[in-house]
A and B are shown apart, each in its own frame.
Chain A
Amino acid sequence: MARVLLFGPLRDLAGWRERDIESGSLAALRSLLAEEDEALGLALDGPGVQVAVDQALVRGDMPLGDGSEVAFLPPMSGG
């Protein structure tokens, strides 16, 4: 089970903030989320959306271990 976190507008779009989802890889997790919610699937692939696995930014696919934390981070804006 991976823990999936959504931030900012992604959370509002999906209607949830955090879920445990069974998935062996980041690519598989993306497909699963897109199947379940097409709008969310498109948004996760949208411009400027970054992904962190276990609090480190990653690009492309990677395997997910049990207890991995996957965070989808839309464009950031502080200050």
Chain B
Amino acid sequence: MSTASTTSPDISGASASGPKKQQGYWAGVGSRVRRDKITLICGGILLVMFLLIVFAPWIAPYDPLQGSMARRLKPVGWQGHLLGTDELGRDMLTRLMYGGRYSWFVGITPVTIAFAIGGSLGILAGFVGGKVNMLIMRATDVFYAFPSVLLAVAISGALGPGIFNAILSMTLVFIPPLIRVSESVTTSVRNLDYVESARATGASAFTIVRVHVLPNVMGPIFVYATTLISVSMILASGLSFLGLGVKPPTPEWGMMLNTLRTAIYSQPLLATLPGICIFVTSLCFNLLSDGLRGAMDVRN
């Protein structure tokens, strides 16, 4: 073989420095996120919450189920109870920490499962196209024809209350939108020339999906899924509030909000604390996904 380095001299000059500094895609996203204060703060808050929740059994000051009537409904800051106590005299901070576990779990699990299932189906539909696409998308249309809360409530209602059923029904609710988003992202990626040229090398469909499709569609699908987390958190706590989620005494924010409600006249701040937790979490997830979306937009 001849040496491949015999090149015309006039082109070698073109190797002047490119328009931008050398940087990987994710590194670029990272640096953009790092410059975005709001996203950072939200990420920070969520991280702190996450740690508090995960390590609740080790760091929570009290037993979440252990109360005492002698200290029921004490205000925020009362004698070693940083956030007061609930209607059965259990430490609010502790319960909020434990409650977060369930709220986060019930909020995030359906999105995660739906991300896996809906994402796969959507990518499949988008990549394979044709009849498969038709089949999957028409089925999706049917579930799209239900308002989401209604669907979740109806399925939960039919299945009966319980954490598992709540997760199941919410998963069913989130699968269709995830299919739609991943299908459209995949379809647009599939028609890009680089996928065509990968096909032109004779690569198998699996390799093409793995190397060329997945890395390019996961980002947008993931960001979309994070926006769903906020919806999911609210929906999950709503289901608990309706009694379709966890059972007492398991602390869960929606449930706590429900049982503490009657105390709103005597301890207004206390009674709104679980609501504030839901609000802040959902807000942070929303802002975080906004920030992520912005940072992942290569046009920036």
A in complex with B: no
